[in-house]
Structure 1
Amino acid sequence: MGNSCACMSQPGKASASTPSNTESTPNTIGECSNSMSVEEQIERSKVHWSTLADQSSISLGDEGKAEESNKQEFMELQRHPTWGGFFRTFNGEDENLYDNGELVVGEKFAEGGQAELFHAKVTWWNPKDNEMFERKGVEFVLKVFKKGTFLRSLKSQLPNGLLQFHVEDMEKVKSPTPKVTPRYFCHVHRGILLKNGQFAFLMEKEHFDLRSLIERNMGLRSDGDCGPFSKEDGEVMMYDIALGVEWLHNHDIIHRDLKASNVLVREFKSTWPKWICVVADYECSIGVVGTNFFRAPEILQACNDKMTNQRPEVFSRAADIYAYGMTCYEVLVGKLPFEDHPHHNKMSLLKDHVINHDLRPKIPEYVEVWARNLLNGCWQRDPRARPSIGEILDILSTNSASVRRREEFQKKKYGENFRFVSKHE
């Protein structure tokens, strides 16, 4: 999560955007992690937790006051004339709130600074919805904000693009000839209020997060002269993540915390591509200042100056591009930024060198020249010198036969206009 490392790190069935000619794989990463308790996995994940600009938004208040306040705030959100339909309850918990069906909250499997993740089973009141989700193999998780968290603080973190997309999605569903479109992002279905007054997002479950997959594959390497994936697989992952960023930017959403642990993965057997990546943890992006050295120099400087609230302009599409470069570094090399640097424990010194001396991670020689150039372009000190996400997609397509193959598949399945072409090019 933007504030809880691996958004959906436990395995599950493929989501609705999975190509129809694929099969879900056995729970490979889940089986590997079963030896650790949930508590141990959460403790291990803390290194990936992001930082908030305004820590008051996660401070926990009186639970009774929060419950009453959240109910009133939620009712107001439901009355919104445009996107009120995004906010729903389940289980007939309150006759004054609009209800979508029955919800059973399962076991907790992950946690972050703001929220906890639970498995969830949904029975929609509309039988057609149940048939559709069952046919597509969709399962759900709940991202539940911690007890005492006030919805009036959280709602300021919700990007309007998320709510506007829900409106567009509902209009498409109601259309007599709905257009099938691919998803390059985690689908957030609803914002809901639980009986105890906690706010939660109902989301589709994926197999695992990309950071977990990288760590698994790095553990299987026989030598140090390659990254966690084959050349072809890595390039397709970079492409899928770029498509997700393009969708966000086209919906006026700045992710602010892009990294491999905020990218979810569906894994398939006996089909190509083996993995499909979707960008996640954007649903509460406003107020997040990112994670360590995934942050662009201008954000690191604002953090040093304690001016993140006074300098919102540093949280830009160009800052997302910088983080995209770092995420691609994870994909190509398998390491976190500067994890093997001699001064990796001296955060202040490293920050100074990143901000003032253009220090960037060292890219191994086995990474192709065009890919090294792409990463270095994303890491330019001047945000205006970084490529746009559309330019990045063009670079990937020009240099990678695997990406061109992926593009052709998408065009055949979804049509020539399968991308969410950015209006900010």
Structure 2
Amino acid sequence: MASSSGWSRQFEELDLSDKSEYVTLPANEADHTTRASGFVSAVEKQIERSKAHWSTLADGSSGACTAEEDGEGDGKAEESNVHEFMQLQRHPTWGGFFRTFYGEDENPFDNGELVMGEKFAEGGQAELFHAKVTWRIPKDNDEDEYVVKVFKKGTFLRDLKSQLPHGFLQIHVEGMENYESPTPKVIPRYSCNVLRGILLKNGQFAFLMDKEDFDLRSLIERKMESRSDRDCGPFSKEDGELMMYDIALGVEWLHNRNIIHRDLKTSNVLVAEYQSGWPKWECFVADYECSIGIVGTGFFRAPEILQACKERMASQRPEVFSRAADVYAYGMTCYEVLTGKLPFGDHPLIDNKPLLTELVINQDLRPEIGEYVEGWARELLKWCWQCDPSARPTIGKILDLLLRNSVYVERQERSLKERYGDDYKYIPMSLYGNGS
């Protein structure tokens, strides 16, 4: 992972001189409440269930760093965020990513109008809301729905910007160059689209993202509940292998842009569901936009990361957050897809996490793989779970292995090549119209 020190210096050099406008939350949404009591109870139940696999932050906590925890009074984070956001808006290269949605034409940073909807999910750092956007440019308006990821009250934008991985904003630059090109390319997508960084009127920072149908963990739980035979995974052979392929493409897409995910798991994979056509589902890797502040989740983490966390040295050992660590987490994610289970979720020692962690680190303990999982897939998981990071496969080798062993993956690759060309896995800047 590249150092973020140079990145931070570029931010600090930005001008603080002008004021800007902010997104307005409807009055009954400003405190992140919802309207329908039945919906609230269902959401709260889902959130409570999801807490078991919330991400862990680099400081060892599971929640946002608040103004009080930072030693500052009420409102300090929100006041600070105003100045930080104005800096980001004026960056000469990626300032266009940080826009407002206040509906005032005289504001040069205003993209249109955003209306917040219901809260539907929550994580350790942020809450997720449905949203509708009316873009300033009429041709951009459609029936698409969006999601706003709002970082919890008291979160400092100055800390969040240091968590942006190298290459994250370059994705936005690539997309805008292609969009503005006289000959734009049809570009494959393997990750969640993070469209803008925005600031709410109350000073909270948020990301505006494309909406998908649900996350993969929710789909797995739904499928497992409907299974009469518990001695099998949640998906058919075809669907499971295609999901593994989609996720691998997403991880490779991030790695090609020097982004280490650091928290790969099915709850961080979004799913589009199709009523007709093939395949039935399409998966997109998500939640990579502030990855430097995350140290992963539970036993999705590679042994070297578990060791660093045990020693409380995770922030001092950035080298453990590597592509190889992502591959380990990819193996655990595929374990979810193939078995429906969380790593060690049914292990007898699951309530004794220190001992279980010791066994993972020092005794190469790994989740038990059901006999119903095909031999080649079992070997893939074991390869990803090697204790030595250098012994794990690259994502490229994983994609090759999937292609060799799955007729469904082979068919999907042919389809992608027909649509996007032989370079469907990674399109360099030279192929983006005026990006050459």
With the shorter chain as reference, the TM-score category is 0.7 to 0.9
Q: Which one of the candidate residues 88, 99, 115 is aligned to 2:110?
A: 99
> Is the aligned partner of 1:252 residue 2:252?
no
Q: Name 1:8's counterpart in structure 2.
A: none
Q: Is the 8 A contact 1:250 1:421 kept in 2?
A: no
User: How far apart are residue 39 of structure 1 and its match?
Assistant: 1.8
Structure with higher RCO (Cα < 8 A, 6+ apart)? 1
Q: Which one of the candidate residues 40, 54, 57 is aligned to 2:59?
A: 54
The one-letter code matched in structure 2 to 1:359 is L
User: How far apart are residue 58 of structure 1 and its match?
Assistant: 2.0
> Is the aligned partner of 1:121 residue 2:132?
yes
Q: Name 1:372's counterpart in structure 2.
A: 378
Q: 1:35 to 1:214 in 2, by over 3 A?
A: farther
User: How far apart are residue 322 of structure 1 and its match?
Assistant: 0.1
Q: Is the 8 A contact 2:262 2:325 kept in 1?
A: yes
Q: Is the 8 A contact 1:67 1:197 kept in 2?
A: yes
CA distance in 2, matches of 1:147, 1:85: 25
Q: 1:125 to 1:257 in 2, by over 3 A?
A: same
Q: Name 1:44's counterpart in structure 2.
A: 49
Q: CA RMSD in A?
A: 1.8
Q: Is the 8 A contact 1:120 1:141 kept in 2?
A: yes
Q: How does the TM-score come out when normalised to structure 2? A: 0.85
Q: Is the 8 A contact 1:209 1:265 kept in 2?
A: yes
For 1:159-187, what per-residue CA distance to the aligned partner results, in whole angstroms no more than 9, with x for missing partners?
13110110111000001111101111000
Q: Name 2:23's counterpart in structure 1.
A: none
Q: 1:236 to 1:149 in 2, by over 3 A?
A: same
User: How far apart are residue 54 of structure 1 and its match?
Assistant: 2.1
Q: Which one of the candidate residues 318, 321, 327 is aligned to 1:321?
A: 327
User: How far apart are residue 324 of structure 1 and its match?
Assistant: 0.1
User: How far apart are residue 55 of structure 1 and its match?
Assistant: 5.2
Unaligned runs of 5+ in 2: 1-37, 68-72, 429-436
> Is the aligned partner of 1:67 residue 2:81?
no
Q: Which one of the candidate residues 119, 123, 131 is aligned to 1:108?
A: 119
User: How far apart are residue 95 of structure 1 and its match?
Assistant: 6.3
Q: Which one of the candidate residues 275, 283, 303 is aligned to 1:269?
A: 275
Q: Which one of the candidate residues 196, 211, 216 is aligned to 1:205?
A: 211
Q: Is the 8 A contact 1:157 1:286 kept in 2?
A: yes
- SS of 1:58 mapped into structure 2: coil
The total of aligned residue pairs comes to 385
Q: Is the 8 A contact 1:241 1:278 kept in 2?
A: yes
Q: How does the TM-score come out when normalised to structure 1? A: 0.87
Q: Name 2:308's counterpart in structure 1.
A: 302
Unaligned runs of 5+ in 1: 1-32
Identical positions, percent: 72
Q: Name 1:16's counterpart in structure 2.
A: none
CA distance in 1, matches of 2:105, 2:342: 46
> Is the aligned partner of 1:172 residue 2:198?
no
> Is the aligned partner of 1:340 residue 2:346?
yes
- SS of 1:206 mapped into structure 2: coil
Question: Which deviates the most, 68-77 or 387-396?
Answer: 68-77
- SS of 2:291 mapped into structure 1: coil
CA distance in 2, matches of 1:385, 1:421: 28
Q: Is the 8 A contact 1:206 1:266 kept in 2?
A: yes
The one-letter code matched in structure 2 to 1:368 is E
Q: Is the 8 A contact 2:64 2:154 kept in 1?
A: no
- SS of 1:289 mapped into structure 2: coil
For 1:25-71, what per-residue CA distance to the aligned partner results, in whole angstroms no more than 9, with x for missing partners?
xxxxxxxx969522222111111111011258822114422222111
CA distance in 2, matches of 1:55, 1:142: 25
CA distance in 1, matches of 2:106, 2:151: 23
Q: Which one of the candidate residues 92, 95, 99 is aligned to 1:88?
A: 99
Q: Is the 8 A contact 1:92 1:101 kept in 2?
A: yes
Question: Which deviates the most, 47-56 or 80-89?
Answer: 47-56
CA distance in 2, matches of 1:248, 1:138: 25
Q: 1:54 to 1:412 in 2, by over 3 A?
A: same
User: How far apart are residue 321 of structure 1 and its match?
Assistant: 0.1
User: How far apart are residue 392 of structure 1 and its match?
Assistant: 0.3
Q: Name 2:18's counterpart in structure 1.
A: none
Q: Name 1:24's counterpart in structure 2.
A: none
Q: Is the 8 A contact 1:209 1:262 kept in 2?
A: yes
For 1:342-399, what per-residue CA distance to the aligned partner results, in whole angstroms no more than 9, with x for missing partners?
2121101110000000000111111111111110000000000000000000000000
- SS of 1:160 mapped into structure 2: coil
- SS of 2:283 mapped into structure 1: strand
CA distance in 2, matches of 1:371, 1:38: 35
Q: 1:326 to 1:81 in 2, by over 3 A?
A: same
The one-letter code matched in structure 1 to 2:278 is W
Stretches (4+) displaced over 4 A: 33-36, 92-97
Q: Name 2:21's counterpart in structure 1.
A: none
For 1:128-154, what per-residue CA distance to the aligned partner results, in whole angstroms no more than 9, with x for missing partners?
111xxx2xx531010011122111111
CA distance in 1, matches of 2:178, 2:317: 37
- SS of 2:315 mapped into structure 1: coil
The one-letter code matched in structure 1 to 2:87 is E
User: How far apart are residue 91 of structure 1 and its match?
Assistant: 1.1
